[in-house]
Structure 1
Amino acid sequence: GAFLIYQEGNLVIRAIRDYFHPDIGEILIDTQEIYEQATQFMNHVMPNYVDRVKLYEDEVSLFSRFQIEHQIESAFSREVRLPSGGAIVIDHTEALVSIDVNSSRATKGSDIEHTAFNTNIEAAEEVAKQLRLRDLGGLVVIDFIDMESQKNQREVESRFREALHHDRARVQTGKISRFGLLELSRQRMRPSIGESSNSICTKCNGTGSIRDIQSTALHILRMIQEEA
């Protein structure tokens, strides 16, 4: 007869297995049943850290207390804001994922290098976070703001590699090129959050744009003339 060979853990157990590292101070769970499962899992796999799992019993919901919904929304947004006011813009193509770093301030004048460096540092840390949140895999190209200083370029690369340290996926990174581009390859462990949660727009078929009214009207007129 049939029998169970292997059973994948539930979502919480998979998250702990894939993303837990010693730097995490606590894991809060607001459901008694899941809390018990997580505690049992930690006892078996990482007994030294079982005390990090805690049952959340506050009257204020867990999602509200830590603004989790906002963080979930950021994983679906094309643009993610940075603390200084800049942003990273994430776009998907058939060949790769492109990430553009934008500064909120004008990048001209004496402070151009300082502004570019600070924004790039913030972007490097946020990109590493978004790669994990979105489960992005394959080839990724980051377009950093141009920096003249080689020292600043190496520091951004170093901070980026440091931010990737806790990523369970295998990541290979290059260096920032003369055009400000950094290429990396990230192991595809599962479908990305976009692939598993989004559907293709029926209006534009995933291109992100459609023909405007004038262009469509001219197209219809030409078709009528051909049929006449």
Structure 2
Amino acid sequence: MSEEILINITPMESRVAVVENGVLQEVHVERTLRRGIVGNIYRGRVVRVLPGMQAAFVDIGLARAAFIHAAEISQREGAAVESINALVREGQTLVVQVTKDPIGTKGARLTTHLSIPSRYLVYMPRTSHVGISLKIEDEAERERLKAIMARCVESEGIEHEGGFILRTAAEAAREEDILADIRYLRRLWQQISGNLQGPTPVPIYEDLTLALRALRDLVGPRTEKIRVDSRENFQRIGQFVEELMPEVATRLEHYPGERPIFDLYGVEDEIQKALERKVLLKSGGYLVIDPTEAMTTIDVNTGAFVGHRNLEETIFKTNLEAATAIARQLRLRNLGGIIIIDFIDMEDEEHQRQVIRTLEKQLERDHAKTNIIGITELGLLQMTRKRTRESLSQVLCEPCANCQGRGILRTAETICYEIFREILREARAYQANSYLVLANQKVVDRLLDEESGNVADLEAFIGRTVKFQVETMYSQEQYDVVLL
């Protein structure tokens, strides 16, 4: 399976697309004015301790205080979680790292278990553990990597100076490359540790920009090309690759074309589709994806697909296609947290197992951690996907000003009846010669047409005339009643 990484950079924003066999699988967007802060390390100040929640709020210099749970505050390895009151106090300085960006109304999530990633390793200065990513499954390779780490740690004389985790990218890595990573991380930690004391709140380490993070985290053996459309940034990225990832230098190329790189690969169209609720399947079926504050629900429908043999076969084929499409949509939209999937009910248990296996297989390529929990008594599949940054729609969209993010509007009929009730309230409270209603065109049209009889009855009841005026700037739910 061929994979390409496209990097589009402008002064306002950076965008990275992962394209597999010509199909967009992931897109990451970082706006210059509001870069994500996951991975950043801060000297923060505890502003509030919450014993009931075993947590505290920490000021790290953002608009909202960040949140840290007692379990995320450094303690002895293997020890039980202590009371939050025994761990921190208000006004205390705390060196923390962001594990989740502020999302919606929730502040950033923090930990004091610091970790600094490089190409092949994650360095953890406050533990002594050496581990290997579970995604490296080959036992011989795991043993080889353990032996390499033991030799490197011994040669550097750093047995008691922090722990390491070998990332998935370390599979088949050479000893000299891993040793170079260890030295880079040690130099970086010495620089950070020199800034642990001082005033608060202050950032003391910032993670890489999106383009460099993409190279560090997304490039794998399947990646055939990394194309960058900005010459200036291509040179900067080339420098980074030369220092930290020389093995991918031959795959890095500058795209000088007149046509925008995202247009060339059809990425712009796919981004627009990824913001819609409905996802069409090739068979004629479709998905409906609804992210909410608590969870994301995905409904699978057969739509126009009626199959060739029987209903059960039709349902099975639709669900199989949906499982593949869902795995792609989760990556593409960067949906996280609890995800509930309502596949079309299947009577055959073997069909159920095959659909779940297909979903699991497709999720193996996902860079975010996923966990399929199983099917509930109601036949809904439960799963989770690790959420660290905002979803694509949260980055690119905002709640509708007209419906306040509900996704629905009160009908013109409903607004008419609200206006009648408002006029009755005003008539009881104030003396007026007449009333003027300012409203949206659709509402005024209804008042003068279908509701004209009710308007006449209302005028007779209050003994006053009611006039109407169209306000073109008003949404369907907006109106004002003015006393004349």
* 1:30 matched residue in structure 2: 229
> Unpaired runs of 5+ in structure 2?
1-194, 429-484
State whether residues 285 and 305 of structure 2, in contact with CA within 8 Å, keep that contact through their aligned partners in structure 1: no
Using a 3 Å threshold, how does the CA distance of structure 1 residues 32 and 73 change in structure 2: closer, same or farther?
Answer: same
Q: Is the 8 A contact 2:290 2:298 kept in 1?
A: yes
> SS of the counterpart of 1:174?
strand
Aligned AA (2:344): I
Superposed counterparts of 1:206-221, under 5 Å: 206-221=405-420
Q: Residue deviations 1:118-172, cap 9 Å, x none? A: 2222221222122122221111111112222211211111111111112222211
Corresponding residue of 2:261:
62
- The 1:85–1:19 alpha-carbon spacing in structure 2 relative to 1, beyond 3 Å, is farther
Instruction: Find the aligned partners of 1:159 and 1:37 in 2 and give their Cα distance.
Output: 40
Comparing 133-142 and 104-113, the one that deviates more? 104-113
Q: Check 1:57–1:168 CA distance in 2 against 1; reply closer, same or farther (3 A cut).
A: same
Identical pairs, percent: 37
Q: Classify 1:87/1:37 alpha carbon distance in 2 versus 1 (closer, same or farther; 3 Å).
A: farther
Corresponding residue for residue 283 of structure 2: 84
Q: 1:166 aligns with which of 358, 361, 365?
A: 365
Q: What residue is the counterpart of 1:184 in the other structure? A: 383
SS at match of 2:338: strand
- Larger Rg over CA atoms: 2
In the alignment, the residues of structure 1 paired with residue 409 and residue 381 of structure 2 have an alpha-carbon distance, to the nearest angstrom, of 31
- CA shift digits 1:82-107 (9 cap, x unpaired): 22232211112222111111223355
1:51 to 236, 239, 250: 250
Contact 2:307–2:314 (Cα < 8 Å) also in 1: no
Q: Which moved more, 1:101-110 or 1:138-147?
A: 101-110
What residue identity is the alignment partner of 2:290?
Answer: D
Q: 1:151 aligns with which of 345, 350, 373?
A: 350
Instruction: Name the CA distance, whole Å, in 1 between partners of 2:330 and 2:340.
Output: 12
Aligned length: 228
Larger deviation, residues 218-227 vs 157-166: 218-227
Q: Does the aligned pair in 1 maintain the 2:274–2:332 contact within 8 Å?
A: yes
- Structure of greater relative contact order (alpha carbons < 8 Å, 6+ residues apart): 1
After TM superposition, the structure 1 = structure 2 runs for residues 137-148 of structure 1, keeping only pairs within 5 Å, are 137-148=336-347
Task: Sort the Cα spacing of 1:43 and 1:176 in 2 relative to 1 into closer, same or farther, 3 A.
Answer: farther
- Secondary structure of 1:64's counterpart equals helix
Q: Which residue of 1 aligns with 2:240?
A: 41
Query: RMSD value over aligned CA atoms?
Result: 2.6
Q: Which amino acid aligns with 1:111?
A: N
Q: 1:19 to 1:82 in 2, by over 3 A?
A: farther
Structure 1: gaps of 5 or more residues:
none
Q: Where does residue 11 of structure 2 map in the other structure? A: none
Counterpart of 2:105 in structure 1 is: none
TM-score (norm 1): 0.86
**SS of 1:203 mapped into structure 2:** coil
Kept in 1, the 8 Å contact 2:284–2:305? The answer is no
Secondary structure at the counterpart of residue 80 of structure 1: strand
